[in-house]
């Protein structure tokens, strides 16, 4: 990374740090100030991450994760999956995703569902994947809605002709929600599913 970009990133971080310090002196420590501080720390971690300083980013995100910051947990999961800052560890990645998912973070829920669907760091289980997809889908995540709809329409991967009428009805509901939410493949999959004879 060139020195101009590095200097620019550091100036942005310093500017944000100064703003948080002024807010602390004026308002005292409030929830908004805590969020501002965490946002600055996360930005700092992202900046050093982009500069290839993975160990430093890891340290910052670990600190944020210890304060129940789900974005930091997801970043730690991604780093563990890719082996950045520490050896690759899919099990550790799944643990971080579970922590974020248990904090009701839709990204964590979706990614944990994908981990269970593919068996990455956890034992493969389409049923558990569907449970996590549903948690994110209920919060309006269109990708989770699509994944859940497909999971139900295929009877958890056994085939589209093996799903029950209840699964097909539920699949259509989630695929319609995904289509409304703008998922790029939902409308096409929904049309194909509706064209099949009802079980």
Cβ atoms of residues 116 and 126 within 8 Å? yes
| Average pLDDT of the chain to the nearest whole number | 88
Q: Which of 37, 52, 86 is the last residue of a domain?
A: 86
Q: What are the tens digits of pLDDT across the range 17-53?
A: 554 444 444 444 555 688 889 999 999 999 999 999 9
Q: Confirm whether 136 is domain-assigned.
A: yes
Q: What is the pLDDT of residue 8?
A: 62
Q: Which domain holds residue 110?
A: 104-199
Q: What is the pLDDT of residue 1?
A: 52
Query: Which positions ≥6 away from 62 have C-beta within 8 Å?
Result: 72, 76
Q: What is the pLDDT of residue 45?
A: 95
Q: What is the pLDDT of residue 156?
A: 93
Q: What is the pLDDT of residue 20?
A: 45
Q: Confirm whether 98 is domain-assigned.
A: no
pTM of the shown model = 0.81
Q: Do 131 and 70 sit in the same domain of this protein?
A: no
Q: What is the pLDDT of residue 23?
A: 41
Q: What is the DSSP letter of 178?
A: H
Q: What are the tens digits of pLDDT across the range 48-85?
A: 999 999 999 999 999 999 999 999 999 999 999 999 99
Q: Do 132 and 61 sit in the same domain of this protein?
A: no
Q: How far apart are the first and last CA of the chain?
A: 58
């Amino acid at each position: 990374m060139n020195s101009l970009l590095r200097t620019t990133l550091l100036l942005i971080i310093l500017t944000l740090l100064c703003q948080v310090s002024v807010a602390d002196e004026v308002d005292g420590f409030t929830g908004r100030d805590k969020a501002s501080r965490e946002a600055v720390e996360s930005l700092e971690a992202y900046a050093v991450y982009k500069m290839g300083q993975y160990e430093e980013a890891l340290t910052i995100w670990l600190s944020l994760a210890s304060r129940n910051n789900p974005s930091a947990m997801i970043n730690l999961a991604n780093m563990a999956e890719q082996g950045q800052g520490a050896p690759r560890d899919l099990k550790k990645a799944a643990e971080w995703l579970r922590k974020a998912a248990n904090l009701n973070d839709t990204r964590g829920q979706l990614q944990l569902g994908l981990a269970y669907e593919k068996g990455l760091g956890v034992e493969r289980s389409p049923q558990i994947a569907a449970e996590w997809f549903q948690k994110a889908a209920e919060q309006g995540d269109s990708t989770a809605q699509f994944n859940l709809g497909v999971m139900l329409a295929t009877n958890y991967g056994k085939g589209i002709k093996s799903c029950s009428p209840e699964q097909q009805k539920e699949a259509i509901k989630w695929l319609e929600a995904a289509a409304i939410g703008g998922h790029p493949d939902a409308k096409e999959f929904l049309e194909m599913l509706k064209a099949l004879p009802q079980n």
